Structures are given as structure tokens and as C-alpha cells.
Amino acid sequence: MVEVRDLHKSFGDLHVLRGIDLSVDRGSVTVLIGPSGSGKTTLLRCLNSLEVPEAGTVRVDDVELDLARRPTASELRRLRATSGMVFQSHQLFPHRTALQNVTEGPLYAQRRPAAEVRTEATALLAKVGLADKAAAYPHELSGGQQQRVGIARALALRPRLLLFDEPTSALDPETVGEVLAVMRDLAAEGWTMVVVTHEIRFARQVADHVVFMDDGHVVEEGRPDDVLGAPRHERTRRFLQRILDPL
């Protein structure tokens, strides 16, 4: 479903992605792990054109960007429309209720009928366990609840692909579990997901494919049992040791 080939992305003199290849099967969960600065988030943002690479190709289903030529604004919008993204820091509209945050995209970006959008948004809030919080504003919600609204907002766009950028890193330990539980349910439903996370336990339990990145390269990838349980590369082993045994 997702194919990335020889992807390069720089910010000034900093070469962040150095020839990335990545394949994601439909209905699978791919987890990207690696140290800060390895390029994980940049890769995720390239999948929905929040960042535009300088070289390579990105394809999601039948929508493809070939960076051998400069993509048009229309092509970038088409790629962005294939996915829904859940950000690290929620990024909810503070002056909108939970329900309004979920309906914003379908109403104004997709111009879908208001009654249909409201009904679907109400059901999505119930799906993430927040049926009773539809009228609440972000400041009235916990961090975990805000992130679950963010997940409902991404689902409301009816995406083919769900992208998660370290969705639990800004949460306190007591609320991490409620967000991961929603993500587990989505995986069980067959959503295609690409997740940047340091939650190794989640990767072991839910991922179909784990990709370890470092310094803009894919160092190692494969099944969770292989990459997390018996990594081949010393760099992967050192990273996992630091994550699992930080002392």
C-alpha cells in the first residue's frame, strides 16, 4: 500500500533522510524506532507531504509523488488526503469543543454534509471512549483525552493510512495506556498504521513490522521478534539496551 524509494530530505546543510526505502502492507502496523534525530518524524511527515523531499518517490495506494520533478500543489494535496495524522502535542483548536475539533476537517477541508459529519464525529468520540466529552474544550480534558480526540479527528477524514508521531511521549504514565488501548483496537480492526514511538512493549505486541532508523538510514527492519528480540546490528542492540535498561 505504501512504497517509499530512495527518499532524500535535507534542511539546509543537514541531510536528514539519506536514501530511505520503506514498504508498508495494507492492514499492517509498521513501527519506526530509533534515537532522536534519526529521521523518523521527518519520514512520517514525508508520507503525507507535510514535508516535501528533494529526491525519491512516495506512493500511497494509487497516489504517487515522483520527486524527479517538482510536484504541484494539487499533487501534494492528493497525497495528504490519503492519510490522517496524530501529532505528538495534540494540536487541538483550543477554542473548539472536542466535537468541533473532530468535525472541522470533514466540514471545511472535505466539504461533506454537516449532519453526516456530526453523526460520524459523535460515533468516533464514542469509539475512543469520549462520548461524554463532546462538549468539553481541550483545557477541560486530560492529555490522554486530548490525544484520543486527536485520533478521532484523524479518523473523521476517512483516511486510507493512519500516521502517529510519538503519540504518547507528551503524556504522563497514567494516561499512556488509554491511548495505546485505542491504537491496539484500531490495529485489530485492520487499519494501516505507521507509528513513530519509543513504546517498545507496544511494538512487540501490535506491530507487524519494526524499522530501526539511525542518522537518516534504515539500519534494520523485520518482524518484532527479530528486530526487538534478536537484533542483528550492534547499533540496534545498543539503542534497545538504552531504552529498556536506561540505568
Tell me, yes or no, whether 185 lies in a domain.
no
Tell me, yes or no, whether 47 lies in a domain.
no
CA-CA distance, 41 to 54, in Å (whole number)? 16
CA-CA distance, 70 to 35, in Å (whole number)? 31
CA-CA distance, 103 to 49, in Å (whole number)? 22
Tell me, yes or no, whether 120 lies in a domain.
yes
Cell 495528504 belongs to residue: 80
Which residues touch 73 (CB under 8 Å, ≥6 apart)?
A: none
CA-CA distance, 58 to 164, in Å (whole number)? 18
The distance in angstroms from the start CA to the end CA of the chain is: 40
Tell me, yes or no, whether 76 lies in a domain.
no
pLDDT by residue for the chain (247 residues), tens only, comes to 999 999 999 999 999 999 999 999 999 999 999 999 999 999 999 999 999 999 999 999 999 999 888 889 999 999 999 999 999 887 899 999 999 999 999 999 999 999 999 999 999 999 999 999 999 999 999 999 999 999 999 999 999 999 999 999 888 888 899 999 999 999 999 999 999 999 999 999 999 999 999 999 999 999 999 999 999 999 999 999 988 876 5
At position 42, the amino acid (one-letter code) is T
Tell me, yes or no, whether 15 lies in a domain.
no
Report how many domains make up the chain: 1
Tell me, yes or no, whether 42 lies in a domain.
no
DSSP letter for 106, please: I
Residue-wise DSSP of 17-68: EEEEEEEE-TT-EEEEE--TTSSHHHHHHHHTTSS--SEEEEEETTEEEETT
Tell me, yes or no, whether 238 lies in a domain.
no
Which residues touch 177 (CB under 8 Å, ≥6 apart)?
A: none
Convert the pLDDT of each residue in 209-233 to its tens digit.
999 999 999 999 999 999 999 999 9
The parent domain of residue 109 ranges over 92-159
Beta-ladder partners of 10:
15
Global pTM exceeds 0.85: yes
Tell me, yes or no, whether 44 lies in a domain.
no
